[in-house]
Chain A
């Protein structure tokens, strides 16, 4: 498997919406390279015949009655919002204008 480099980290940081300074990218790339190297043996541990486990205790068909339960008022839902307007979350421009 390929090692993780600074360009990868810059790309991943953009995907994850985390702004990073040049210094931070340098440091993070070094740290992540060590971590990725230490976990790579995992890919050799299991053969193709081993099924994946996504959930530790298998449960299936967890349903409930389709009735309206507790809901928050708009005021409660907006109580922690950094900005709101007329009962809605207010955000800066969604589309880049340039």
Chain B
């Protein structure tokens, strides 16, 4: 018998759940079922999940419970997070569940293999609750480019949950999962974290294997954790990280001090750098206010705040929108109606493979994917290659040099994660360039391969919506982000009197009626 009711159970952090599971105060089946019930209750409104994996999740949970009940060596050897459920972004391939990448071109496709991170979740015996919604092939900042309808922000159902990993962030924010996996190519873990009041971590490029993450832009993509607390992300990164011979870009560094760093957070004497180019003009006033408040708290805790300048960041967005689509145009060439997924035959005329490919890709891809494939094909074409792709790769070097200079003056850098809070569904859908600007503060980290963490920084005064604070560290220094992040999180929670998500409005049970949801509710 558990003393907690389901509503309390699903609000525990993964670390708290792990303690209760190990002490056998609660079973994994109870926890997993509580989350499945929550998904059944609220996901009709949130649309965070594309597939719910109830049967397999409960079977894994029962297995963990049986091992714990039997005791002995096998129970001793269970991973700390064994029995803690998790949701997975539907860009990551899984045996036994469909993988769509949010695209019609892969509707109904089942992978014959598991991604490395999935193998690691299975080895840790973490029940997989299901697959979460995303912008098609992870291209977008709002989840509105999903072929299966947008995900909605649990703080205000009329607003976007960020993207591309809006499904993973919304699932965690709406207490439909304690943890989730995301992927981050230009901010797709961090920006959804910022606008949903959750934590999202993009590890150092190569710290977590990309094997089995459907590639968008291979030199930028990175799998990482999505959670409600900094410690939970550290716990999850230690599960999924480590060298993988199946990913030739995988690092051999151990990354095994992340949890310890989150638990022993201390910023005394640390130098924290404000990047002049990553706040101020173009950033919403409420975002700036919360950002300044976090700086004050860090200063009071003994950190030294310094200002650094990264003058080449003004080219980062442009360079990103050349490099990323170039890699997209190459990576997505394999979706051609031959080996997997959709095949569409031309309505009339000769039935050649080229025409079948053209019809398949026309019907299977959405507008944003087509835009990026065409843009990438353009940037790579003869006559434009040097001016576009070549120049963008040089900008990448300049951005790395800016970071090197900044990290010579500061241990970590800090900025708002996104320039605004969550905007309304539809607001930027017809203006691709306005949509791209959401990633202005997150893209530099991907260009340089360095780690970035977003954590909740409070609610903006003007709209009562979550603001994200981003921390950046040099490559391989992921532990530093967890150390500083945990300190800032505890200082902010002390100020708020609890986690930020405790202030989120209650989602009504979808079965009982329609959504009634007011932003900025408080308890």
Contact = CB atoms under 8 A, between A and B. Distances in A.
Interface of A: 1, 4, 8-9, 12-20, 28, 31-32, 34-36, 38-43, 45-46, 50-57, 59, 62, 64, 72, 76-77, 79-83, 89, 91-98
B112 A77 contact: yes
B110 A80 contact: yes
B335 to A, nearest CB: 10
B111 to A, nearest CB: 8
Interface in B166-194: none
A89 B388 CA distance: 37
B391 A46 contact: yes
B267 interface: no
Interface of B: 109-113, 204-206, 219-220, 245, 248-249, 251, 312, 315, 318-319, 321-322, 329, 333, 336-343, 345-346, 350-359, 361-362, 365, 370-371, 373-375, 377-378, 381, 384, 387-388, 390-398, 400, 432-433, 436, 446-450, 475
A95 B350 CA distance: 10
7 contacts: A1-B384, A46-B398, A50-B394, A52-B390, A77-B339, A80-B340, A81-B340
Nearest to A13: B374
A64 B112 CA distance: 23
A31 B378 CA distance: 14
Contacts, number: 187
Contact of B109 (A4, A54, A80): A80
Contacts of A38: 318, 321, 433
Helix, strand, loop or mixed for chain B's interface? Answer: helix
Given A46-B394, A82-B338, A92-B353, A57 B377 contact: no
Contact of B205 (A17, A39, A56, A96): A56
Given A4-B378, A50-B397, A55 B110 contact: no
B339 A57 contact: no
Contacts of B338: 81-82, 89, 91
Max chain A C-beta neighbours (<10 A), residue from B359, B394, B400: B394
